[in-house]
Amino acid sequence: MVEKDCNMDKLENNEIEAKKSKTKMKGNFFNEWIVPIFAAVAIAFLINKFLVYNVYIPSESMVPTLNIGDKLFVTRIYNLDKIHRGDIIVFYSDELHETVIKRAIGLPGDHIEVKDGVVSVNGEELKEDYVKNKDYSSETNGTFDVPEGKYFFLGDNRPRSNDARRWINPYIDSSDIKGKAEVKFWPLKDFEMLK
């Protein structure tokens, strides 16, 4: 009888150990897989929402700097003082009703003159090595005075770019600026930091 009780105790202990082991395995699975996956998804969401996101280039307005199908990493802009002339900026255009990517040419208070393919800012001709296709059309000539809190943008492919020279309201409000293009990551062969 004592031996039988001993065997029963061993059996019960084995069952208890097996249950503990199963519970521990479930806890390990949860801690080793579910928690890290959830954390990674949450971190990716927060990074995308507040720091970095990617964009796809749908048009040829920025050729040759950016081509149709290129994909970029863009950092969100929280301090507008960090925008410099020549930066490639993503912004929302109320006039076009879409998010657009162009190069910042005019900052608040700038006087801009576009004449026969040459852009001058505050009386000084811009050195635009990134522009390979100049637009000599007289219909895109003009003089622009950028108001405070506004920005003036042009595409690099001037003859094909629907940009500030052609818009009814050529200025973009600072509240519509979303981010700055930093890295072209697709296609992989064209991977580069953007200037």
> Which position among 20, 24, 102, 195 bears the catalytic label?
102
Record the tokens describing residue 150, joined without a space: 């506004």
- Quote the distance between the C-alpha of residue 79 and its chain's center: 15
CA–centroid distance for 86 within its chain? 17
Q: What is the pLDDT of residue 82?
A: 85
Query: What are the residues facing 53 on neighbouring strands?
Result: 74
pLDDT of 2 reads: 44
| Tokens linked to 52 | 């970095």
| Residue segments in the chain with a per-residue pLDDT below the cut of 70 | 1-31, 33-56
Residue 126: its H or E element: none
Please tell me the predicted confidence (pLDDT) of residue 167: 93
- Identify the pLDDT of residue 168: 93
E strands present in 107-147: 111-115, 118-121, 124-125, 142-145
Annotated catalytic residue 178: no
- Residue 4 annotated as catalytic: no
The answer to whether the CB of 161 falls within 8 A of the CB of 62 is yes
Task: Give the distance between the most distant pair of CA atoms in the chain.
Answer: 110
CA dist., res. 120 & res. 153, Å (int): 13
Catalytic residue among 4, 24, 26, 61: 61
Residue 4, pLDDT score = 47
Q: What is the pLDDT of residue 123?
A: 92
CB atoms within 10 A of CB 178: 17
- pTM: predicted TM-score of the whole model, two decimal places: 0.71
Distance CA 49, CA 53 (A): 7
